[in-house]
Chain A
């Protein structure tokens, strides 16, 4: 039983993903090096971040070869964190607003 359970894949796929991760990391470093600012900077940072994270989880951690039951059990709960992110952003906006009203003269 245990022998059939191992994840065995050709070494080429690891090397290719490794190279791709290097390229993506270099690209995200270039975002800073070339002084991209504003929405373009944030967009590129997020895109490179998600691509790298996806490649690591899917290939290095073998998630793309697992059964859907495990995939969903691990990946779906992380979606909940987006709710926490939203709450955090709302709260931060409110704190910033009240600090502006009470602490900083001339912000409003």
Chain B
């Protein structure tokens, strides 16, 4: 028998695909998520739990809106703004949507440049993403101020069903908190990138883990998730 080529001992075995791949991955007696750094798998699992939290909020909003006997305030009018002498419905929310989607775009490109080890571009794109996020939070603060001045409270409002205020402050407040935390972490990751922590595998301050460009993608997963939640809030709270 001829000896097997040495290359075959170096190359890893090909992974099974399809349903067979799922069974093989999960029963492999190794890590179940192949080709995925564990930090990324953990972020996905965290995001799944966050999905459940946000869905609980949105479903409770649905139940209170369906069960109230008073008329629900019309979001199209409540969130209208007067711009250039014209009353435009829902315009503030539309602008916020575009800002958040733009931040998702810059984040996706930051991840790409991160894996190319292009420090400068990654840094710039992360900061642009953070700036978009901060703008979004600022506009949300403006929106809250406007509604509070209009007399909207968690326990009632002059426009109709009392549940409008509680749902609004709960859902957008929780989402805004996510955006704010995201902005802080974007800035932290940007500093790590430009300082070269990820190139030199500098241990992190809290975890002591070696720096790695995977953290840019993990940060990106969180940021895209914030955008994803906004897609659902925009659709079912503001447009419905």
Contacts and interface: CB of A to CB of B under 8 A. Distances in A.
Nearest to A56: B228
Shortest 10 CB-CB contacts between residues of A and residues of B: A92-B66, A18-B105, A49-B235, A95-B67, A69-B25, A92-B63, A6-B115, A92-B67, A14-B108, A88-B59
Contacts of A41: 239
Contact of A53 (B32, B37, B65, B231): B231
B63 A81 contact: no
Interface string A74-101: 1001100100110011011101100110
8 contacts: A11-B112, A18-B105, A32-B89, A46-B235, A49-B234, A60-B224, A61-B220, A91-B67
A62 to B, nearest CB: 8
Contact of B116 (A8, A15, A32): A8
A104 B34 CA distance: 59
A107 B71 CA distance: 13
A21 to B, nearest CB: 5
SS of B interface (majority): helix
A78 B60 CA distance: 17
Contacts of A66: 35-36
B25 A7 contact: no
Contacts, number: 172
A67 B15 contact: yes
Interface stretch (B90-98, B145-153, B164-172, B189-197): B90-98
B69 A104 contact: yes
A57 to B, nearest CB: 7
B63 A88 contact: yes
Interface of A: 2, 4-9, 11, 14-15, 17-18, 21-22, 25, 28-29, 31-33, 41-42, 45-46, 48-49, 52-53, 56-57, 59-62, 66-70, 72-74, 77-78, 81, 84-85, 88-89, 91-93, 95-96, 99-100, 103-104, 107
Given A6-B214, A68-B17, 11 more contacts: A14-B108, A18-B105, A28-B235, A32-B89, A32-B90, A52-B231, A56-B227, A69-B22, A88-B63, A92-B64, A100-B69
Contacts of A8: 112, 115-116
Interface in B7-42: 15, 17-19, 21-22, 25-26, 32-37, 41
A18 B60 CA distance: 31
Given A2-B212, A21-B101, A77-B48, A88 B62 contact: yes
Contacts of A45: 235-236, 239-240
B143 to A, nearest CB: 16
Contact of B94 (A29, A48, A67, A78): A29
